[in-house]
Amino acid sequence: MIIEETILLCLGSQMRAKEFITQDIDFVKYLKKKYYYLFGLILKLASNRPELIEEAKVLTKEKILELLRIKRPDIYTVLQTPEGRIWWEKQDFSQLFTII
């Protein structure tokens, strides 16, 4: 779950999540731009740990949302607003595979 945990970390705080939503920021593009090195490091680790590669293959918005519900209910609450749901549905985490 290292990839999902990293995504949670990058979402930051409840305030930051609200900024992503109100500014309609493409979160995956933001991750790729700002945290390219971090995801590159994950790729390096994944090369020696096939379970990380498998984890990346099954990464879904639903899994991340469930993890948020459990570990970061503050951010989860923001994403459950009408605006948050619309924003979350726009995110395409499959784009991360160009890094991972």
Q: Is the pLDDT of residue 42 over 70?
A: no
Could you write out the DSSP letters of every residue in 28-75? HHHHHHHSHHHHHHHHHHHHH-HHHHHHHHT--HHHHHHHHHHH-HHH
* Residue 86 is assigned to a structural domain of this protein: yes
Cβ neighbours for 17, distance < 8 A, ≥ 6 positions apart: 11, 75, 78, 79, 84
* Residue 98 is assigned to a structural domain of this protein: no
- Out of 23-32, 38-47, 82-91, pick the least confident: 38-47
What would the pLDDT profile of 70-84 be if each residue is shown by its tens digit?
999 999 999 999 999
* Residue 99 is assigned to a structural domain of this protein: no
Phi and psi angles of residue 71, each rounded to the nearest 5 degrees, phi first = -95, -30
Number of domains in the chain: 1
Domain extent for 10: 2-93
What would the pLDDT profile of 2-13 be if each residue is shown by its tens digit?
677 778 888 989
* Residue 100 is assigned to a structural domain of this protein: no
pLDDT band at 100 (very low <50, low <70, confident <90, very high): very low
As given in the structure block, the two tokens for residue 91 are 């995110």
Distances 61 to 2, 88, 99 between C-alpha atoms, Å: 15, 8, 17
